[in-house]
Amino acid sequence: MKTALVLLVLALQLVLELSALTLINKPSAILYTSPEKESFIEDILRYGAHVTLLQEQEGFAQVSHQQRGLAEACPPASTGWLHKTDLLEVSKDPHLLATAFVGYRGAYLFKEADTKRGPFLTLPFETPLEVVEELPETCRRWIIVRLQDGQKAYVQRSQIVFEKRVLNMAEMVAFSQQFIGLKYLFGGTTSFGYDCSGFTQMLYRQMGVIIPRNSYQQAVDPRFQEVQEAQAGDLVFFYNAQGSVVHVGMMINSTEFIHSFPKRESWICITRLDEKTLHDSSLYSYCEVRRLST
């Protein structure tokens, strides 16, 4: 009987280990191409993102990250190296427990319902949060949430949304302009800073459409077809003289596009397609507009 009980406990432990999830446990974590601090940035992953642990090496962990809902037409999961301290193993998926999400500019989390000591954590746009308690009318400004590591925190109501609504194309184009002035960040995929393709990927995600991570992958996504006359919501791809994609933006009307641009302003801005500075050969040789098939 005792032996059977021991075997049952071991079996339950094995089930728990197999069902455990590995998550990013930093506001944003850099995914490197190799287990070295100075190696190339492959991607930047947001707090709460699911990863698959492949191997560990001297303080680093090699992981694979697959976007949720990625279509078969899109590229496979991205693989790279993270600091082991960026990871957290949990038994429950925080996305399934989420009853709120961080608003578009991010959210500050506090240890108490007061800002005087400053936040202990800042989370980017789209981070799922489990609401534990809504405080009474006298303290209506604050909401208590539970983080993925189990600790509780206070967040201001104005910085979260209780419903993650799927936008239509017109709503998404209008929504995109709330990010004007946000800084460009190489490899960036969060509201702490987007690169050009991270920005377009995030925008399409608001419509429930998952597109590839990088601009050159987005350009060959078979769901997008080249068009001659641009309209709001189309993606515009810029190519160098060798025919390689070097930049992407999204049209907000037939003549202007919004993009996270590293060359001059280094922030999210709106530019005309016929702007003379864009035709500098050091930036690109030609561009094409592509539209999502309906």
Contact 275, 284 (CB under 8 A): no
CA distances from 9 to 1, 2, 3, 89, 90 (A): 13, 11, 10, 20, 19
> What is the pLDDT, as a whole number, of residue 18?
45
Spatial distance between the Cα atoms of 113 and 165, rounded to a whole number of angstroms: 28
Contact 46, 127 (CB under 8 A): yes
CB atoms within 10 A of CB 131: 16
Facing residues of 82 across strands? 61
pLDDT band for position 285 (50/70/90)? confident
Q: How far is CA 220 from the centre of its chain?
A: 21
> What is the pLDDT, as a whole number, of residue 8?
42
pLDDT per residue as tens digits for the range 63-113: 999 876 544 445 567 899 999 999 999 988 888 889 999 998 899 999 999
Q: For 240, phi and psi rounded to 5 degrees?
A: -90, -175
Spatial distance between the Cα atoms of 262 and 194, rounded to a whole number of angstroms: 10
How large is the average pLDDT for residues 198-222?
Answer: 95
Contact 157, 100 (CB under 8 A): no
pTM: 0.86
Domains of the chain: 20-90 (2.30.30.40), 94-161 (2.30.30.40), 169-292 (3.90.1720.10)
- What is the chain's mean pLDDT, rounded? 88
Contact 24, 51 (CB under 8 A): yes
Which has more confidence, 281 or 50? 50
> What is the pLDDT, as a whole number, of residue 239?
93
